[in-house]
Structure 1
Amino acid sequence: MSSNPEQPENPKEDEVWRDLVARLQEDSDQTLLGSQDSESPRGSTPRQRPGFEQFDPLNVRRIDSQPTNPEFSGPRDYSPSEDDEDFVPAEPASLSTVEPAIALAWVGAAGAPIALLCAAIFWRNAPLLAIIALILVFILAVGYLIYRLPGQRENDDDGARL
C-alpha cells in the first residue's frame, strides 16, 4: 500500500485509465447516430463506424430463409407432418357429468374471493357476518377440493393425459 491514496499503485493503470477515457470521449452521441465523417484522434484516417441501419444483433435481416446447417434449425424451419394436419381434438365432457359437490366447491372457491372484492368496492359497510361467511365458504371449498385430489399416482401414468 502506498502512503498517498491519490497515486495509483501501478503506473500503467493510469495509462490504461487515460486510454479508456479517450476512447469513451471519442465515441460521442454523434457516432451513435451514424456520423461517419469524424476523424480518429489517434490518426488522420477517418474510421468507418456502423450506424443504426447496420445494427442487427439477432440477424433479423438474414437473406436466406433456409438454414445452412440442419443442426441449427429454428422454430420457423419446422414443417408439420401429414399426421398432425388431421388431428381433431376430442369433445370436452359435458358439465352435467360433473359431481354437484365438486361444481359447488369450485363456485365457492372462485366466487367467494370475487364476492369479497365486490363487497370491498361497492358495499363498504358490509356486515362482519357476511364477510366471515364468505371467508369460511372459500376455506371450506378449497379444503374440499384438496381433499378430493387423488392420494396416489398410478405408476404407469406419464402425466400426458388431461
Structure 2
Amino acid sequence: MSDREPSRDEAEWLDLVARLESTDSDNGSDSGPGAAAGPRDYTVPENDDGAFVPPEPAPLGAGEPLVVLSWLAVAGGPLGLLLIAMFWRGAPTAVVLGIIALVIAGAGYLISRLPSERDDYDDGAKV
C-alpha cells in the first residue's frame, strides 16, 4: 500500500501537534497580554474628534409648495386620466380638459424653473 510505516506517520503527526501546541503556548492565552491581535479584537474609539458627522436631512415636507403641487399635477394627471378612462366612462368633458390643463400648467412651471444659464466649465458633479 504505502511505503511509510504506520509508526513513522504517527510519530510525525505527534511531532507536528507538539510543535503547534508549543506555538500556541508561546503566544499566550486569548486573555493574556501577549495574545495575538485578530480582526475581532478591534475596538471602536469612543470619541474621534476628526470623524465625519453627516448633517441632518431636511424634513420631507420642506419643499416649495408650488414645486410639489406641480410634480403632483404632472405625475398624477395622467394617472387620473387613466383611472377616469377605466372607471368613469361618462366623465364630463370639463373634468378631462381640466386635468389636461393642470398637467400642462404643472409641466410649464417646472420647465420655467430650470436654470437658463449654463457654465461650460462645469461638469455637473457636486461634492
Q: After TM superposition, which residue ranges in structure 1, 4 or more long, deviate above 2 angstroms?
A: 89-97, 154-157
Larger Rg: 1 or 2? 2
The alignment yields a C-alpha RMSD, in angstroms, of 2.6
Aligned residue number for residue 114 of structure 2: 149
Aligned residue number for residue 87 of structure 2: 122
Tell me which protein shows more helix as a share of its residues.
2
Find the aligned partners of 2:121 and 2:60 in 1 and give their Cα distance.
28
State the one-letter code of the partner of 1:149.
Answer: L
> 1:158 and 2:123 equivalent?
yes
Find the aligned partners of 1:127 and 1:148 in 2 and give their Cα distance.
33
What secondary structure, in the 3-state scheme, does the structure 2 residue paired with 1:130 have?
helix
The gaps in structure 2 that reach 5 residues or longer are: 1-53
What secondary structure, in the 3-state scheme, does the structure 1 residue paired with 2:61 have?
helix
CA deviation after TM superposition for structure 1 residue 90, in Å: 7.4
Aligned residue number for residue 70 of structure 2: 105
Q: Percent identity?
A: 46
Find the aligned partners of 2:62 and 2:122 in 1 and give their Cα distance.
24
| Residues 97/157 of structure 1: CA separation in 2 closer, same or farther (3 Å cut) | farther
| CA deviation vs aligned residue, 1:101-156 (integer Å, no higher than 9, x gap) | 10110000001110000000011111110000000000000011001101012344
| Residues 156/95 of structure 1: CA separation in 2 closer, same or farther (3 Å cut) | farther
State the one-letter code of the partner of 1:142.
Answer: A
State the one-letter code of the partner of 2:97.
Answer: I
The gaps in structure 1 that reach 5 residues or longer are: 1-88
Q: Which has the higher contact order (CA 8 A, sep 6+)?
A: 2
Aligned 1:5-154 pairs, distance under 5 A = 93-154=58-119
| Residues 91/118 of structure 1: CA separation in 2 closer, same or farther (3 Å cut) | farther
